[in-house]
Amino acid sequence: MKTYFITLLIPIFIGCQPPQASRQDIRFVDISHEPSSSTSDIVLGSIAKQHQSDGKKLIDVAMSDTAGFLRLGEMCETFGPRISGSENLENAIDWILLEMEKDGLENVHGEHVMVPKWVRGNESAQMIAPWKKDMAMLGLGGSIGTPPSGITAEVMVVGSFDELTERANEAKGKIVLFNVPFTNYGKTVQYRSRGAVAAAEVGALASIIRSVGPFSMNTPHTGNSHYKDGVEKIPHAAITVEDAAMIGRMAARGQMVKIKLQMEGHYEDDSPSRNVVAEIKGSVYPDEVIVMGGHIDSWDVGQGAMDDGGGCVAAWQAVKLMKDLGLRPKRTVRVVLWTNEENGLRGGNAYRDAHKASLDNHILAIESDAGVFKPSGFGFSGTDDALAILQDIGTLLTPIESGIITKGGGGADIGPIMREGVPGMGLRVEGSKYFWYHHTNADTWDKLDQDEFNRCVATMAVMAYVVADMDERLPREKTK
């Protein structure tokens, strides 16, 4: 996920967190939710009341499901990470399309999108003075490579863009290290995004950043980065929080640190990919569409399990469970798994362009791209009238504590159609761990939890289904 992040998920570290130790072996099943008994105590909205029975069915079937979570694991581990332009991604898409057909979903197809193809190649970073250390590193998405013999230079450590500006005359011929501790994603990611430009502007040979994450076990984070016309392109990479902090302290102690960087990052020709589409056609208003999904591409590390395989499979499973229950809403529910969110947003843009004529009939767009952790509800961008209706529907989700609908939210992939007037919402989830794993080799299925995943499925299923099935059409701004 990317653009919409700040409004969706400011990581909050409060209170008591369960130890993570056993997650990698044991799947916890939380049996504390008791939708059957507790629903009776909950005050339902008027729309919710009309869909109480279907809502309960969806929650019950989602919360006892095992297939969706296993399917996510199978996808993650059978195809690996799914960067745009990779065989892994297209193999995963082929498999998803076949599986969706098997599920009996309707109108299953891929929609052609040309995507950029950035290839990492081999890469390494070594501290060569004052002592030798092979450092864990990841080149940042879009970075150019170094010359084959690498770039070896003294490191200049700065703690901010301002410090780089103040000490600009020291940067020439050096490798600039942005040793910026994680505060929140929106702030800290600026160094990943713009660091290479800032370093090149003052004459640096290369730019490295402290990985954008609050906690590390020698775990570098990749992610997209940018160059600027007229400014020389220099290699741009992330080292771990540990190494960046260490080099920062070494420099503060007066030690001269030298690094050798070797990278082969480069772009190849754009490559064909697809947005994945599948539906349950509406029984009364088939042309009115609730679109729901995540992005199927990922970075080229880990398994893209949280970002965003989980969001994709949760949306898919939500629709599959409607199908299994024989629930056909009045309007069409469409799953879309967008391609190329991470380094181009070509999928989201292509969807907007391909469906331009029908965007007026896109009733609501729902995206999950903050990890499939325990959900609390949705952040919604649309009219107050629409918000009130969604809050009414949200009362159906009170038994699983995921019915809070607040103002503001969306998602990177649905951004293009939201900007055309489609009301949009993003699933909100517990956010304390997401940035531990984000864009790393540790974004793997074993970190996830079946119960939390199922809550996401239930939450998306109920919301999409009721908006699709309610008598009234979700209102939106008139003029667009």
Q: Which residues are catalytic?
A: 341
What is the smallest separation between the CB atom of 74 and a second copy, expressed in angstroms?
Answer: 7
Q: Which of 3, 23, 420, 421 binds a second copy (CB under 8 A)?
A: 23
Q: Give the Cα separation of 12 and 130 in Å (integer).
A: 38
Measured from the CB atom, the residue of 36 and 122 that comes closer to a second copy is 122
Scanning residues 344 to 383, which ones bind a second copy (CB under 8 A)? none
Interface with a second copy includes 53 (CB under 8 A)? no
Q: By CB under 8 A, is residue 20 in contact with a second copy? A: yes
Q: Are 374 and 455 in contact (CB under 8 A)?
A: yes
In the window 218-237, what residues touch a second copy (CB under 8 A)? 218-219
Collect all residues with Cβ–Cβ distance below 8 Å to 74 and sequence separation of at least 6: none
| DSSP notation for 272-313 | EEEEEEEEE--SSEEEEEEEEEEE----SSTT-IIIIIHHHH
Per CB under 8 A, 181 contacts a second copy: yes
Q: Give least dist CB 88 to a second copy, A.
A: 6
Task: Please identify which residue in the block is written with the tokens 């629903």.
Answer: 39
Q: How far apart are CA 175 and CA 139, in angstroms?
A: 14
- Name the residue type at position 416: P
Rounded to a whole number of angstroms, the minimum distance from the CB of residue 215 to a second copy is: 5
Q: Which span (36-44, 76-84, 225-233, 401-409) binds a second copy, by CB under 8 A?
A: 76-84
Tokens linked to 284: 């009364």
- Minimum Å gap between C-beta 416 and a second copy is 31
| Rounded CA separation 77/253 (Å) | 45
Work out how close the CB of 443 gets to a second copy at its nearest, in angstroms, rounded to a whole number: 9
β pairing state of 151-158 and 133-135 = unpaired
CA distances for 424 relative to 273, 390, 398, 420, angstroms: 24, 11, 21, 11
Residues forming a β-bridge with 208:
177, 237
Residue 254 as a binder of a second copy (CB under 8 A): the answer is no
Q: State which residue, 181 or 186, has the beta carbon closest to a second copy.
A: 181
Token output for 51 = 């869909």
Tell me, what DSSP letter sits at residue 227?
-
Of residues 177 and 460, the one with the C-beta less far from a second copy: 177
16 scored as a contact of a second copy (CB under 8 A): yes
Mark the segment that binds a second copy (CB under 8 A) among 31-39, 240-248, 274-282, 453-461: 240-248
Fill in the per-residue mask, 267 to 306: x = in contact with a second copy (CB under 8 A), - = not in contact: -----------------------------------xx---
Is residue 245 a contact residue for a second copy (CB under 8 A)? yes
Among 437, 439, 454, 455, binds a second copy (CB under 8 A): 437
Q: Position 428: which residue type?
A: R
Q: Sketch the per residue contact string, 126 through 165, with a second copy: x for CB under 8 A, - otherwise.
A: ----xxxx--x-----------------------------
For a second copy, the closer CB: 443 or 452: 443
**One of 3, 52, 361, 432 touching a second copy (CB under 8 A):** 432
Nearer to a second copy, 184 or 383 (CB): 184
**Closest by CA position to 179, among listed 204, 156, 159:** 159
Residues in the chain: 480
Tell me whether strands 137-139 and 285-295 are parallel, antiparallel or unpaired: unpaired
By CB under 8 A, is residue 445 in contact with a second copy? yes
Whose tokens are 């994680």? That residue is 182
Both tokens of 400, joined, read 């699983």
How far apart, in whole angstroms, are the C-alpha atoms of residue 204 and residue 154?
Answer: 10
Mark residues 379-418: x for contact with a second copy by CB under 8 A, - for none: ----------------------------------------
Q: Please give, one letter per residue, the 3-state secondary structure of 79-107.
A: HCCCCCCCHHHHHHHHHHHHHHHHCCCEE
Phi, psi of 180 (to 5 degrees): -110, 115
Check binding of 77 to a second copy (CB under 8 A).
Answer: yes
Per CB under 8 A, does 431 bind a second copy?
A: no
Please name the amino acid found at residue 288: E
Whole-number Cα distances in Å, 77 to 8, 23, 183, 316? 28, 17, 32, 18
Q: What is the DSSP letter of 130?
A: S
Of the residues 242, 264, 270, 420, which one makes contact with a second copy according to CB under 8 A? 242
Tell me: does residue 31 bind a second copy (CB under 8 A): no
The number of residues that bind a second copy (CB under 8 A) is 52
DSSP letter string, 100-115: HHHTT-EEEEEEEEEE
Instruction: Tell me the closest approach of the beta carbon of residue 30 to a second copy, in angstroms.
Output: 18
- 66 in contact with a second copy (CB under 8 A): no
Chain contacts with a second copy (rule: CB under 8 A): 11, 13, 15-25, 73-74, 77-80, 88, 130-133, 136, 181-182, 214-219, 241-242, 245-246, 249-250, 253, 255, 302-303, 432, 436-437, 440-442, 444-446
